[in-house]
Amino acid sequence: MKKMNLILGLVVGISSFCLVSCVTTSTANNNVNTGYYTSYSYSKHQAKNTIAQTSYVINQAYEISTYYSYWVDNRLSRAMYYNDYARRLYSMHKYRSAINYSLLARDYALDVIDGCDDYWETFYYTYFGWSNRYGYNYNFGYANGYRDGYYDGYYAAYCARHHHDYRKDPHHNLHSDWYTNERYDRVVTNASNQSMRNQSHSGGTNTNNSRGTGFRNINRNEYYTQEENTMNGNVPDEKEMETDFRKANPNVEISDANLRKDNAVITRNRENSETFSTNTRNTTLINNTRLEKPTRVETKRPTEEKKNEETITPTRKDNLERKDNKENTTPIREVNKERKREVTPIKTENKEEKTKIDNTRKRNVDTEKKTNEKSTNIKNTRKRNTNDIKTNTRSKENNAKTDSNTRNRNNNSTSRGSNTRNRR
């Protein structure tokens, strides 16, 4: 009995040791290419959602880059290939490494979005009524603009960077508190400090802060969940991750020129992005991170006679109300009462005059028809007369020939008779 207990104890001890070894080995394998270990737990579900959301952000960055031909520092290709590598790590059950590469890829994609000046010049011109490149948008109306404090602040900072006093804009599209002198001075000071921090800023790309700090036009926190922000603090150094990536992918060339020809990786990213965007559970994230479609700006100033009344409704946060601004409780139609447009009255015609005109037109048409019929009949009569004359002339000629032939025959018969008499 004692031997059986001793053997059973040995078996249990060996099994426990093997189980602990397996768990340790699995954890170590899952933490390859991370540089260090933490107690934070990474799950399959987390990795899948992170990769899908990053694909959605990268797809928007790709649309902007291709539309405006914005290719700088190979950041978009790095984002695309890193997230594609994260997808492969996910299939290998290396969830922690997959999350790290996907989060870093998202930072690169956001850097591309924030740095494309062509996109933001068009954005502020369309939805705030002024941009440094295009000037005032004379077709702008309050209904076109963004009505939330998030972009109010970024537009104010944008104006300050370009030494433009937004308080003089003809279109009131910001919260009222942004027009105070204290707030305006603070915005100008912050914009000046921002420009000093980004002196090495080249082509719209943040070269100083590659991990997504110091964005000028987007709020980075809206592109990450609270859980992802926690995981973001454990992402290793960029250079270390790049070294590991090149070891695992020696045949991949990270360059925007190569990416434009790599349809396979672009298609995979687009499909993953569509999967994320069609999931109803991601509606809040999509509403917070969806960008307006890239467009071109028509800089022609409308004339007083004809104005372009087309309004572009922003897709992002369109129905938000300003709860802290009492002035904006007024309906939109009443806001623009001061900017009345000149309306040319439509000319109305008297019914009797209109009836007379219609009757005159009908009579003219009938007269013209009768005239055409008469001329046609005259032409036909002339043709018939001509044909009759030709026919009569031919018949007369034939009769004359017949008479001459008859006379000749008679003469011949008479001469023959006289000749016969003479002979006798």
What tens digit of pLDDT does each residue of 223-273 get? 998 899 889 888 999 999 999 999 999 999 999 999 999 999 999 999 999
Sign, CA torsion 405/408/413/414: positive
Q: Is 169 in contact with 192 (CB distance < 8 Å)?
A: no
Q: 128 and 199: one domain?
A: yes
Question: Strand 135-136 and strand 130-131: pairing?
Answer: antiparallel
CA–CA separation, 36 and 236 (whole Å): 8
CA–CA separation, 108 and 77 (whole Å): 9
195: which residues sit within 8 A by CB, 6+ positions away? 161
CA–CA separation, 298 and 134 (whole Å): 9
pLDDT at position 237 is 93
Q: Is 51 in contact with 43 (CB distance < 8 Å)?
A: no
Strand partners, 136: 130
198: which residues sit within 8 A by CB, 6+ positions away? 206, 208, 214, 216
Q: Is 258 in contact with 77 (CB distance < 8 Å)?
A: yes
pLDDT at position 213 is 55
Q: 262 and 187: one domain?
A: no
Tokens matching residue 92:
């290998």
| Helices (H), ranges, 42-94 | 44-68, 75-91
Q: 140 and 187: one domain?
A: yes
Residue 162 has what DSSP assignment? T
pLDDT at position 102 is 97
pLDDT at position 403 is 66
Structural domain includes residue 216? no
Structural domain includes residue 263? yes
pLDDT at position 61 is 97
Does the pTM exceed 0.85?
Answer: no
- Report pLDDT digits (tens) over 45-84: 999 999 999 999 999 999 999 999 999 899 999 999 999 9
218: which residues sit within 8 A by CB, 6+ positions away? 110, 113, 114, 154
pLDDT at position 224 is 92
Structural domain includes residue 405? no
Q: 191 and 247: one domain?
A: no
Q: 108 and 123: one domain?
A: no
Q: 112 and 228: one domain?
A: yes
pLDDT at position 317 is 53
Tell me the residue range of the domain where 94 lies. Answer: 41-116+224-294
Structural domain includes residue 304? no
Structural domain includes residue 198? yes
Q: Is 126 in contact with 144 (CB distance < 8 Å)?
A: yes
Structural domain includes residue 322? yes
Q: 199 and 318: one domain?
A: yes
Tokens matching residue 27:
């954890």
161: which residues sit within 8 A by CB, 6+ positions away? 191, 194, 195, 216
CA–CA separation, 299 and 90 (whole Å): 48
Q: 102 and 228: one domain?
A: yes
pLDDT at position 21 is 54
Specify burial of residue 51 (Cβ count, 10 A radius: 0-12, 13-18, 19+).
buried
Q: 97 and 121: one domain?
A: no
Q: Is 122 in contact with 295 (CB distance < 8 Å)?
A: yes
Structural domain includes residue 49? yes
pLDDT at position 50 is 95
Q: 195 and 123: one domain?
A: yes
Q: 136 and 275: one domain?
A: no
- Pick the last residue of a domain from 263, 294, 325: 294
pLDDT in tens, the chain (424 residues): 555 555 656 555 666 655 545 545 454 444 444 433 343 567 899 999 999 999 999 999 999 999 999 998 999 999 999 999 999 999 999 999 999 999 999 999 999 999 999 999 999 998 889 999 999 998 887 666 776 777 888 899 999 999 999 888 887 777 777 888 888 888 888 876 665 444 333 333 333 344 545 788 998 888 998 899 889 888 999 999 999 999 999 999 999 999 999 999 999 999 999 999 998 888 888 888 888 888 888 766 555 444 454 556 677 654 444 444 444 444 434 444 444 445 455 455 566 666 767 777 777 777 777 777 777 777 777 767 776 676 766 666 666 666 666 666 666 555 555 555 555 4
Q: How many domains does the chain have?
A: 2
Q: 165 and 101: one domain?
A: no
Structural domain includes residue 28? no
